[in-house]
């Protein structure tokens, strides 16, 4: 059976630099940084006191019933609102579609950690009888796709991925395959996260993974720069409407780009550290290219995982050189986490939007805060300023704790 082609027809975003696809893209091209001192709790006493928080988010715009809002953790609110944005952007009239042919694959790396934290204190202080009746459905990760399907009336394949920071890429890749193999015509897919809470920040501090550049939050996320000292937590959501090409063309949809390849691998090495050889990361890129029928020399742009940690940036660079050889030095590589922070399970969804727009507009977003080159990170990281260049094929990397690696290939749409 010939695989069906999959295109992107709608995008929705809630991020630290803008709460729509257009705001996000404009901010990335302008090199806007969304970091600041944490406001969602008092971070005094934490080694890292900074984060990339979503600002000005109003769920009532897309979830008009206040009761529904109260029953959703913030990460679920992000997902529902972004999905409705993406459907709106796609021009789909869901009332005219078969709901059993539209599905959802949306994941989160951590899920409802805030409600877990709050309700644990309720239990300790007031006893188990005072726990919220909806504690469990509010905290479970799969409630993001669950609520999207409920809110939009979608009855097709409904699933959830939780692979830490690779979640968004895995979600989009699995959604693509469901369409390719005929299980759905339309999929809502991406990643969502809202975990800027004491336990998460404290846990990452205990791992010594976070930047301590508390007096300069806007300069703290600096992927591939020699003076990087850890990642900066972010939150948000990135959602795409993926659609079978024939279905999209029949309804006259605007097509942003084509999703053309998906690769994944496991490091089988360590709970938090990437394999030193970069073999797993190189393999998932290789598999994504092979899945789409591409060669390494076809790649125009790499949206790097680029977390701003010493190990990730060094080993991702090594992996790119391992796969691409000398060609690696000719490919623009940038990390949009320099502007959005590391949105954990949402990172792949947000960065997928950056890749789609780079392919559509032939512009590569920059890596900001790149000031001091690292001899071990010696590729073209598009320093500090967006670059106009032909982008026919972009790949987006995502690597998660546990050794989860996922890569998505996006190409310019040609009928």
Chain segment 122-153, per-residue pLDDT in tens = 999 999 999 999 999 999 999 999 999 999 99
Report helix angle 198-206 to 113-126, nearest 10: 110
Q: How far is CA 206 from the centre of its chain?
A: 24
The whole-number pLDDT of residue 193 equals 98
Chain segment 182-214, per-residue pLDDT in tens = 999 999 999 999 999 999 999 999 999 999 999
- Which residues of the chain does CATH 3.40.47.10 include? 6-250, 261-411
The whole-number pLDDT of residue 1 equals 66
Query: Is domain 261-411 classified as CATH 3.40.47.10?
Result: yes
This prediction's pTM:
0.97
Phi/psi at 90 (5° precision)? -75, -20
Tokens representing 281? Answer: 């990361």
Checking if the pLDDT of 415 tops 90, the result is no
Chain segment 331-366, per-residue pLDDT in tens = 999 999 999 999 999 999 999 999 999 999 999 999
Which residues have a catalytic role annotated?
Answer: 165, 305, 342
Phi/psi at 225 (5° precision)? -80, 145
Mean predicted confidence (pLDDT) in 24-53: 98
Chain segment 223-259, per-residue pLDDT in tens = 999 999 999 999 999 999 999 999 999 999 999 999 9
Q: Which of 66, 131, 117, 391 is nearest to 257 (CA)?
A: 391
Chain segment 68-94, per-residue pLDDT in tens = 999 999 999 999 999 999 999 999 999
Over the chain, what is the mean pLDDT?
A: 97
Phi/psi at 50 (5° precision)? -125, 155
How far is 289 from 285, CA to CA, in rounded Å?
A: 6
The whole-number pLDDT of residue 67 equals 95
**Which CATH number is associated with domain 6-250?**
3.40.47.10
């Amino acid at each position: 059976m010939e695989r069906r082609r999959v295109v992107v027809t709608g995008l929705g975003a809630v991020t630290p630099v803008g709460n729509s696809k257009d705001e996000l893209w404009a901010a990335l091209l302008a090199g806007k940084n969304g970091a600041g001192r944490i406001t969602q709790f008092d971070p005094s006493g934490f080694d890292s006191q900074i984060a990339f928080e979503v600002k000005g988010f109003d769920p009532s715009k897309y979830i008009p019933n206040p009761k529904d809002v109260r029953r959703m953790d913030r990460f679920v609110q992000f997902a529902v609102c972004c999905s409705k944005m993406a459907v709106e952007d796609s021009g789909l009239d869901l009332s005219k579609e078969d709901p059993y042919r539209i599905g959802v694959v949306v994941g989160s790396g951590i899920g409802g950690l805030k409600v877990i934290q709050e309700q644990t204190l309720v239990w300790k202080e007031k006893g188990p009888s005072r726990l919220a009746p909806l504690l469990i459905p509010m905290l479970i990760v799969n409630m993001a796709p669950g609520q999207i399907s409920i809110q939009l009336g979608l009855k097709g394949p409904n699933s959830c991925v939780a692979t830490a920071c690779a979640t968004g890429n895995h979600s989009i890749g699995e959604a693509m395959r469901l369409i390719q193999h005929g299980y759905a015509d339309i999929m809502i897919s991406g990643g969502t996260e809202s975990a800027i809470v004491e336990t998460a920040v404290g846990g990452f501090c205990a791992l010594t993974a976070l930047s301590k550049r508390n007096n300069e939050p806007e300069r703290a996320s600096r992927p591939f720069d020699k003076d990087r000292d850890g990642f900066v937590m972010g939150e948000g959501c990135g959602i795409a409407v993926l659609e079978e090409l024939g279905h999209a063309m029949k309804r006259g949809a605007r097509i942003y780009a084509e999703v053309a390849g998906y690769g994944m691998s496991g490091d089988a090495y360590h709970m938090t550290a990437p394999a030193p050889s970069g073999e797993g990361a190189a393999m998932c890129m290789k598999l994504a290219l092979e899945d789409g029928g591409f060669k390494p020399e076809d790649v125009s742009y790499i949206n790097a995982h680029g977390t701003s940690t010493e190990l990730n940036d060094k080993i991702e660079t090594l992996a790119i050189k391992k796969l691409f050889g000398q060609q690696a030095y000719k490919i623009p590589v940038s990390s949009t986490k320099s502007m959005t922070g590391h949105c954990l399970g949402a990172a792949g969804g947000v960065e997928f939007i950056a890749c789609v727009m780079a392919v559509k507009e032939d512009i590569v977003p920059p890596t900001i805060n790149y000031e001091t080159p690292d001899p071990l990170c010696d590729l073209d990281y598009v320093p500090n300023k967006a670059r106009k260049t032909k982008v026919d094929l972009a790949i987006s990397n995502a690597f998660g704790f546990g050794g989860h690696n996922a890569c998505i290939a996006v190409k310019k749409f040609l009928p």
